[in-house]
Amino acid sequence: MSERAAGSIYDLGYRRYEGRRLGRRNAVLSLYVHGLRAAFGLGRRTRSKIFPMGLGVVAALPAIGYLMAAAFIDIDISDVIRAEDYFSSIFFFPPSALMLFVAAVAPELLGRDQRHATLPLYFSRALSREDYALARYASMATALLALTLLPQAILFLGNALVVDSFGGYFQDEWGQIGPIIGSSLLISLFFAAIGMVISAQTGRRAFATIGVIAPFVFLPVISLILVGTVENIVGRLGIFLNPFFVIDGFTYWFFDSAPNFGEGGTLTTADFAGGWYFFFALVVTALGIGLLLRHYGRRSL
């Protein structure tokens, strides 16, 4: 009978962690901050920062352009570009930049963890599946909120600086701050819900990006056809297929104003009160969050 091989035990200096365990709340906060940094490419190579930050600049282009014009020409920017018009269908760059930002960032926030199979590591600790989904969604919505609020802040402060009385402008226009924040917040929540629930379906970034862009490209076409050709309630309801018209509708509702689209505008043709767009955006946002939670609540994930 052979003798058992002798073994040795080496002290490698490993020690138990004796520090403070921060728990679930800090785990969620850390994941949220990590997602927010990842949305803008912070902490990564310069190439990762160019596209998201570039889209932020694109979203602010009309505001920057009008401010530059105001520096040389005696104009009131609020007479040329209203706060409620900024992310409407009138201007191409801001809403398109938001769409592309969602299409670029949402797959990055969710797809990387799926591709590298790190989700089991997250869920084996203090984080629950719902915590993960909500933290990632909050990161996406906050990043979008930065993109929507920044141009509005540039316009508002720029107007205040070019008028004779800085304080007087704030006294006259402070009532716009609430609608600006409210509409920007709902735009961010609405777009984030659409982008995140689509991106969660696949870990392949290219497929997720195309999937996010598709409804913003094809649904508006169907919407315009329905509203323009079907002269009944079905045609009018087609307005809600267009995400851009939805944000138009509830934004004007927030500001209690009307669009400058003329008599033949699509919103005018559909003839729905602004509150319906607000309600529809809330329903879509809630549905998107619910589907996201359901997706990450699956056992097989």
| Of 137 and 227, the one with more pLDDT | 137
Report whether pLDDT(69) > 90.
no
Report whether pLDDT(130) > 60.
yes
Q: What angle do CA 75, 78, 79 make, to 5 degrees?
A: 65
| Of 6 and 86, the one with more pLDDT | 86
The residues, any chain, with a CB within 8 Å of residue 68's CB and separated by 6 or more, are none
Report pLDDT digits (tens) over 91-122.
Answer: 777 888 999 999 999 999 998 888 888 888 87
Report whether pLDDT(80) > 90.
no
Share of the chain above pLDDT 70, in %: 88
Confidence (pLDDT) at 147: 93
Report pLDDT digits (tens) over 235-279.
Answer: 889 999 999 999 999 999 998 887 765 544 788 888 888 899 999
Helix (H, G, I), strand (E, B) or coil at 77: helix
CA distance 212 to 88: 20
Return the domain boundaries, the chain: 23-296
CA 160 from centroid of its chain's CA atoms: 28
pLDDT confidence of 27, banded at 50, 70, 90? confident
In a 10 Å sphere around its CB, with 0-12 CB exposed, 13-18 middle and 19+ buried, how is residue 10 labelled? exposed
Mean predicted lDDT score pLDDT of the chain:
84
pLDDT confidence of 65, banded at 50, 70, 90? confident
- Whether 86 contacts 179, CB under 8 Å: no
Q: Which amino acid is at 163?
A: V
This prediction's pTM: 0.86
| Of 80 and 155, the one with more pLDDT | 155
Sole residue written with tokens 């540039």:
154
Question: Mean of the pLDDT values across residues 276-285?
Answer: 96
Percentages helix, strand, coil for the chain (3-state, rounded to 5) are: 75, 0, 25
Confidence (pLDDT) at 181: 93
CA dist 253 to 78, 83, 209, 281, 285, Å? 18, 13, 31, 12, 18
